[in-house]
Amino acid sequence: MDVLSDAIAAMRTGRPHSRRQDKYAPWGLRFPDSDGAGFHVVLQGSAWLVPAAGEPVALGPGDVAFLARGRGYTLASGLDAPVEDVRPLPDGSWPEPPPAVRREGPATVLLCGAYQLDRGRAHPLLSELPEVVHLPSRIGTHRSLRAAVELLGMELEEPQPGSDTIVTSLLDTLLLYILRAWWGTERHGSGHPRGWAAALADPAVGAALRAVHGDPSHPWTVEELGARGGLSRAAFARRFTALVGEPPLTYLTWWRMITAGRLLREDSVPLRLVARRTGYTSEFAFAKAFKRQYGVAPGQYRKQAS
């Protein structure tokens, strides 16, 4: 099982949105705090991204900026450009902007997107992302990401039958390519990967994570998970805790509860089957563990989510 795909699916809600925009300097957009995440790709021209904290980031043609933490930021043609507030609609999308007024200033073409996230279910793999993930355009790098950007831009510029479904799928794909590109940079850039980049790259810990995500209902033991990577129980427990930040069985229980929450929101299967699919032979034991994690009983959680 793909741990990255699982982490995204666990906290994604609603439908992603995207838009292609033509801007003529001077221009500026101020985005408020939100529960979601967003990205911007400069297809032509340049822009400045000013995060809530940290230094401004200069964006050039082909650059990708991903904002994972939901903090407000400004996107503008220059650091002294006038800005207007962008107020998202209830579904997380942005209101349709007025037609761009052509000016003599330089033109910038942007590809922008937004994802709705439930931060109460945030996987630590995503929580360690910086406020701004900046992926500069360099020849020969992130080719899959560039291809997805080009396809998305084409669909938004010239919609065809089926474009709604294609755009949604491309946005999901683009998010994974952005994260894959960043973790690849983290893993290979300094030669010393940290955090979850190191956990996924580690043969023993990576194998254990894939096993847990692939079959959370299995009665995993620390010894059995360690054997997946050829380590003793004690050596594996130390390495897993150091890289993931918590002991193996603690992570297993947490992931089972995240999986249970997703099943309760998205499926109508009986509670006893949800319990079984997440490793509990007793519905009572499952309900007790679930309430400890979410603060409400499974049945009540399902009603609230419907």
Give the domain CATH number at 117.
2.60.120.280
Asked if residue 212 and residue 166 are part of one domain, the reply reads no
Is 196 domain-assigned? no
Q: Give the pLDDT of residue 128.
A: 81
Number of domains in the chain: 2
pLDDT grade, residue 192 (50/70/90)?
Answer: low
Asked if residue 219 and residue 180 are part of one domain, the reply reads no
Q: Give the pLDDT of residue 136.
A: 92
Q: Give the pLDDT of residue 185.
A: 74
Last residue of a domain, one of 189, 217, 241: 189
pLDDT digits (tens, 9 = 90+) for 138-176: 877 888 999 999 999 999 989 999 999 999 999 999 999
The mean per-residue pLDDT over the stretch 101-115 comes to 84
Asked if residue 180 and residue 127 are part of one domain, the reply reads yes
Burial 217-231 (b: 16+ CB within 10 A, else e): eeebebeebbbbbeb
Q: Give the pLDDT of residue 132.
A: 94
For residue 126, what are the contacts with CB-CB under 8 A and spacing of at least 6? Answer: 7, 8, 11, 68, 179
3-state DSSP helix/strand/coil % of the chain, to nearest 5 = 45, 20, 35
Asked if residue 172 and residue 79 are part of one domain, the reply reads yes
Is 56 domain-assigned? yes
Asked if residue 223 and residue 152 are part of one domain, the reply reads no
Examine the pLDDT at 225 and tell me if it is beyond 60.
yes
Last residue of a domain, one of 189, 215, 234: 189
Is 35 domain-assigned? yes
pLDDT digits (tens, 9 = 90+) for 273-303: 999 999 999 999 999 999 999 999 999 999 9
Task: Give the integer Cα–Cα distance in Å for 223 and 53.
Answer: 44
Q: Which of 8-12, 214-218, 251-255 has the lowest mean pLDDT?
A: 8-12
Assess contact for 97 and 14: CB atoms under 8 A.
no
Q: Give the pLDDT of residue 188.
A: 58
Q: Say what the pTM is.
A: 0.84
Examine the pLDDT at 191 and tell me if it is beyond 60.
no
Q: Give the pLDDT of residue 96.
A: 73
Asked if residue 121 and residue 182 are part of one domain, the reply reads yes
Task: Give the integer Cα–Cα distance in Å for 181 and 143.
Answer: 10
Is 194 domain-assigned? no
Is 197 domain-assigned? no
Asked if residue 171 and residue 238 are part of one domain, the reply reads no
pLDDT digits (tens, 9 = 90+) for 51-61: 988 899 999 99
Could you list the residue range(s) of the whole structural domain that residue 111 is in? Answer: 3-189
Last residue of a domain, one of 189, 221, 250: 189
pLDDT digits (tens, 9 = 90+) for 75-100: 999 999 999 998 877 776 777 776 66
Asked if residue 150 and residue 209 are part of one domain, the reply reads no
Examine the pLDDT at 187 and tell me if it is beyond 70.
no
Beta-strand relationship, 28-31 and 84-85: parallel
Q: Length of the chain in residues, anyone?
A: 306
Is 250 domain-assigned? yes
User: Percent of the chain having pLDDT more than 70?
Assistant: 94
CATH at 239: 1.10.10.60
Q: Using the 8-state DSSP alphabet, how is residue 129 labeled?
A: S
Is 182 domain-assigned? yes
Examine the pLDDT at 117 and tell me if it is beyond 60.
yes
Asked if residue 159 and residue 12 are part of one domain, the reply reads yes
Asked if residue 156 and residue 49 are part of one domain, the reply reads yes
User: Percent of the chain having pLDDT more than 90?
Assistant: 66
Q: Give the pLDDT of residue 258.
A: 92
Assess contact for 79 and 25: CB atoms under 8 A.
no
Asked if residue 64 and residue 156 are part of one domain, the reply reads yes
Q: What is the mean pLDDT of the chain?
A: 89
- For residue 240, give both structure tokens: 């897993």
Examine the pLDDT at 34 and tell me if it is beyond 60.
yes
Is 98 domain-assigned? yes
Select the more confidently predicted residue: 118 or 101.
118
Strand order in the sheet with 37-44: 12-24, 107-117, 37-44, 64-67, 133-135
For residue 33, what are the contacts with CB-CB under 8 A and spacing of at least 6? Answer: 52, 70, 71, 72
Select the more confidently predicted residue: 177 or 122.
177
Select the more confidently predicted residue: 10 or 259.
259
3-class DSSP assignment, residue 191:
coil
Asked if residue 141 and residue 274 are part of one domain, the reply reads no
For residue 201, what are the contacts with CB-CB under 8 A and spacing of at least 6? Answer: 187, 193
Segments of the chain assigned E as strands: 12-24, 28-31, 37-44, 47-51, 57-59, 64-67, 73-76, 84-85, 107-117, 133-135
Assess contact for 113 and 38: CB atoms under 8 A.
yes
